[in-house]
Structure 1
């Protein structure tokens, strides 16, 4: 039996990562919630928000799952769908939600936060998000941080960091170093997207903020935008160009 060379094994791993990055793997789907696997320990949860200006909008969040512990980034859009997500994690994955983290104060991040609180799940956001959520009469995350927070699912580390203003004054991103996955939230646009809702945006700083994200995370394998398809570092480049002249 021929033994596979190390180089060939690396090629297989790279191909596997490429396929994940391009397609994801839908592993759960209902009328209100879809979950796709992006890498070994990261998933996208997709729920839907009805808006006046943009119609029915698909909203992305991230799950980091390691062993029997999960971190959820941005809630689904309401309490009912949040319960559906929690039930999937508890029943299908036998996992406990260790924390839920909001990446900014809009309701596509906080819409289901009360359901997580009712389950005893601790919630986190920047202190700026806490202030803005209170002003917008949205559910308020319990624990605030300044510019940097590190959490773990098991031994898998996730870094949550504020790089500057863009979609909102408080938008943060979440980075999984072991798998080079970035959840950019609404700060990052899918390739080909429009500028979207700009009611709370800082158009002048947006490109510069994303450029700082890119400089700090130059080897990204997967980038999850707040809305639309998962991609790679090209999403950062597209977002930088999209707001470069504002």
Structure 2
């Protein structure tokens, strides 16, 4: 090999390796950053954290229940409360003392207590709560703590220099289920409307099974570039969770 060509070849190899190293550095590796028997917090992206609390059920045993925290410029917004006030207090304290962030809002994504079971703690800490108007009606009917502020179709809230979206796409797990989306990280909180891979259909007592697939298809069409999807229960993943949920509830 001629000296010039050899030098050029080495240069190109070096550039390729450098790009590979740079891409590896950009890939975020999830890590558990808080863990107790009642609450687990996992950082799943630079500015997104999954919180997992637990609920004892008659039909499904001891169930882990997920929520999502998103962050920008020392501000956070939370989708779904932990399952009880005690765990919610721990989460609020951790965000203030460890993340050093102000909590702008809590958004329960439907009326079940795995979404708003710890809402009283947020009320007592002066944190604004937002939910779909149907969620507020259903929470009142079931004598649950009721979110303070309502929206009908979608909600956009500022978080630092960014924003979040909470939107109702249709019925599925419940009549009121909404999803949350954080565009800057391409992270979606699907809540109980979205299933983890290989999951069963779960609790269907308030479900509209006939519409479930159609609803999730609308979500996929609206957010085709979603990178991370967090379900209400189980392991988070990518857009494959939307595809799996669509197929699971196909008529």
Q: TM-score over 0.5 for the alignment? A: yes
Query: For the residues of structure 2 that align with 1:57 and 1:79, how far apart are their CA atoms?
Result: 17
Query: For the residues of structure 2 that align with 1:7 and 1:214, how far apart are their CA atoms?
Result: 35
Which residue of 209, 213, 216 maps to 1:207? 213
Unaligned runs of 5+ in 1: none
Instruction: State the partner residue of 1:43.
Output: 49
Which residue of 89, 96, 100 maps to 1:90? 96
RMSD: 1.9
Instruction: State the partner residue of 2:61.
Output: 55
TM superposition outliers: structure 1 runs of 4+ over 2 Å? 2-17
Cα offsets for 1:40-94 (capped at 9, x unmatched): 1111000000111111000000001223211111000000000000010011111
SS in 1 for 2:33: strand
Instruction: State the partner residue of 1:116.
Output: 122
Distance 1:174 1:211, change over 3 A: same
Instruction: State the partner residue of 1:65.
Output: 71
Cα offsets for 1:6-26 (capped at 9, x unmatched): 995487447744x54xxx211
**Mapping of 1:168-207 within 5 angstroms?**
168-207=174-213
Query: For the residues of structure 1 that align with 2:20 and 2:223, how far apart are their CA atoms?
Result: 22
SS in 2 for 1:178: coil
Which residue of 124, 137, 142 maps to 2:143? 137
SS in 1 for 2:45: coil
| Bigger radius of gyration | 2
Query: For the residues of structure 2 that align with 1:204 and 1:12, how far apart are their CA atoms?
Result: 46
Query: For the residues of structure 2 that align with 1:5 and 1:197, how far apart are their CA atoms?
Result: 53
Distance 1:169 1:7, change over 3 A: farther
Instruction: State the partner residue of 2:239.
Output: 233
Assess if the C-alpha contact under 8 Å between 2:73 and 2:161 holds in 1.
no
Instruction: State the partner residue of 1:222.
Output: 228
Q: How many residues align?
A: 240
